[in-house]
Structure 1
């Protein structure tokens, strides 16, 4: 079974993206980058903020998540990078590179497909 961790932008998660619901709905419906799990068992085990700009805290946060989940023997098998980082973050490349260098699991760029093309259309 795949265990999915989503990494998003701390500032967006705290102030703009209400309850990270688009990522969760996309996962539940297996849409967007989550379509790869359509015919398999997969669970969302966490949504983790990057630690704030410039993303220097992402590796310690991944380590903290690992320690936090150890008593339950849960660990991610895939890490998805949310659109709040992919589409809007000036530091996305170093953040993604740090995650890829340290996570030890596949890192997938993207989550849900619900990005509006025109805000007021």
Structure 2
């Protein structure tokens, strides 16, 4: 079973992407970056935001990791939401996706997937 968390853009989440419904649909249908879980159960452990600009994603992820341990709800994979990917391309989001993915792997020891759904 893959246990994942999704990190969404604080400025887009629940504004233009109402209640993260696109991510949930992508998970159910195993499309976009969720296609990698086609033949296995998938558990969403947490859904949070990046901490807002200028990019407080690492402190947020450390808090999520610590809380996950406390609640005995560890996760294997961090998905950086499609909303963050789009924000870096269209809204001058300052997050360097590749560098952030490397830092997450380095600091948290978790697999990182850039993106979630195809919409």
Distance 1:47 1:32 in 2: 17
Structure 1 regions of 5+ residues with no counterpart?
115-121
Q: 1:10 to 1:95 in 2, by over 3 A?
A: farther
Q: TM-score, normalised by structure 1?
A: 0.83
Partner residue of 2:110? Answer: 105
Counterpart of 1:84 in structure 2 is 83
| Structure 2 unaligned residues grouped into runs of 5+ | none
How far is 1:33 from its partner? 0.6
Q: Output aligned runs, 1:22-101, within 5 Å.
A: 22-55=22-55, 57-89=56-88, 90-93=93-96, 94-101=99-106
Please give the TM-score of this superposition, normalised by the length of structure 2.
0.84
Question: What's the Cα RMSD here?
Answer: 1.6
Q: Which has the larger radius of gyration?
A: 1
Contact 2:104 2:110 in 1 (8 A): no
- Aligned partner of 1:6 in structure 2 is 6
